[in-house]
Structure 1
């Protein structure tokens, strides 16, 4: 069995490595944020405020889907009444800055992953280190797919639901820019990180915190939680709830498969020892 190539480092040495990881990652995020800062018109008009328009691609998709099931009246959106306001003197500038940083984080995510890999690689076996490029590519793809999933599915469904929710005719909606953009950021980034579930399960299995038996045992509870979340963030129809639930459960099943493979490989290594 190949032995781990672990450098003899003190606790302070590890802290120093972690510090430089954070420094390099922060610089990468800020560089990408500067680029995003100069494309604010496109980012806000076309991307962030895109789900406010009834012509947004997600709404059109659900409308066409509704027509196939004779549900066009409930699934076709003709108007979204969602006025956005700013109530702070420096609110728009602050929003410009923080949104640029958020975009910078998304764009620099592969580099951040590379830095994380370099930090943990000394604790890996020699035959595992050769998968560095695969790890970066797969993790980055999962993250970007998750961001797109959150932006094109969770965010517009949430926007449409909250914009149409009426507690009383006496109450009018005038949404703060912070609240709206926070919804968009959370939907995109949280989904991106959620799609990293197979990678997370891989490492948790490697260190013995989870195993395929544990994941299979709690599969039904996971399904219930996902269905509840889907029911909250989607319109009140079964089709849209299923569309949100299916990708997440597929990720969970893939995670179980990955965990099983890791455990199987660990057992083989023990037999060789």
Structure 2
């Protein structure tokens, strides 16, 4: 006697229940990540003016004697420090956010993928912070000093709106944070077999040209500012090649020749 055919409605119900459970878990993970950001923000909101002043320090230190920051929006003096504080809170709480993402996708990953994701995410976070620090301590003072030098012969007063400065700072942070992810991208491309180390060396001249094109688009139109982005980009590309050789080279399985196999 043959077994009865599976009930299609039961299978659909189980898949729908599984889908709903994933949605509920995703909602919970997003809520926990959001709560972490909000808790850090509430902890820092009292010092919002000080946090903005810390962000504006590279500009304030390089403004000419009569230069100053201005507010052109009625609510700008309140909302701009709040925006800066919220973004600082997000950066501080980012490990918690990344953990929630990891906890959601981890059950669907293989063991070797789990071993790859943890160091990949942690190194990406650290490199992004290094990129932001490089922009704050090196790029900002250099660019503002150059712009103040260009502005002096014009006899124009150098005054910057705090909202425009925030937009500029966030753009620079994002650009240099992404730039410092280049070694991770190179290692992934080699690990996934998209490119080989020999190919990466072969396209090096194109990378140099691309680095200067990107720096010309992102940074102010002076040679020094462009070099500040282009040179680290090329150095990070070379570091990515070295890291790919060390990491991927270790993971390559040893090839056993057929002649060395014992037929017994």
What does the per-residue CA deviation read over 1:21-77, in whole Å, with 9 as the maximum and x for residues that have no partner? Answer: 4333222222222223222233122x21211244xxxxxxxxxxxxxxxxxxxxxx7
What does the per-residue CA deviation read over 1:102-139, in whole Å, with 9 as the maximum and x for residues that have no partner? Answer: 11122122223323333443454324534665445433
CA change 1:24–1:190 in 2 (3 A) is farther
Q: Relative contact order (alpha carbons < 8 A, sep ≥ 6): 1 or 2 greater?
A: 1
- Of 115, 132, 140, 2:100 maps to 115
What does the per-residue CA deviation read over 1:200-259, in whole Å, with 9 as the maximum and x for residues that have no partner? Answer: 444455555555455434322222232355567479566x76555443222212323444
Q: Quick check: 1:82–1:163 contact (8 Å CA) kept in 2?
A: no
TM-score (norm 1): 0.67
SS in 2 for 1:35: helix
5+ long unaligned stretches in structure 2: 1-14, 257-264
Matching residue of 1:27? 35
SS in 1 for 2:163: helix
Q: Quick check: 2:64–2:158 contact (8 Å CA) kept in 1?
A: no
Which structure has the bigger radius of gyration?
2
Whether 2:182 is the aligned partner of 1:197: answer: yes
- Of 52, 60, 71, 2:59 maps to 52
Whether 2:227 is the aligned partner of 1:219: answer: no
What does the per-residue CA deviation read over 1:127-179, in whole Å, with 9 as the maximum and x for residues that have no partner? Answer: 45346654454333212211101111222223333344349948544322111
State the alpha-carbon separation in 2 of the partners of residues 251 and 147 from structure 1: 15
5+ long unaligned stretches in structure 1: 1-7, 55-76
Q: Relative to structure 2, which stretch is displaced further, 99-108 or 259-268?
A: 259-268
SS in 2 for 1:222: helix
TM-score (norm 2): 0.69
State the alpha-carbon separation in 2 of the partners of residues 21 and 209 from structure 1: 33
Matching residue of 2:76? 91
SS in 2 for 1:79: coil
SS in 2 for 1:117: helix
CA change 1:237–1:196 in 2 (3 A) is closer
State the alpha-carbon separation in 1 of the partners of residues 255 and 24 from structure 2: 34
- Of 138, 142, 167, 2:123 maps to 138
Q: Quick check: 1:230–1:245 contact (8 Å CA) kept in 2?
A: yes
Matching residue of 2:4? none
Matching residue of 2:239? 254
Alignment RMSD (CA, Å): 3.9
SS in 2 for 1:49: helix
SS in 1 for 2:253: helix
SS in 2 for 1:22: helix
Matching residue of 2:111? 126
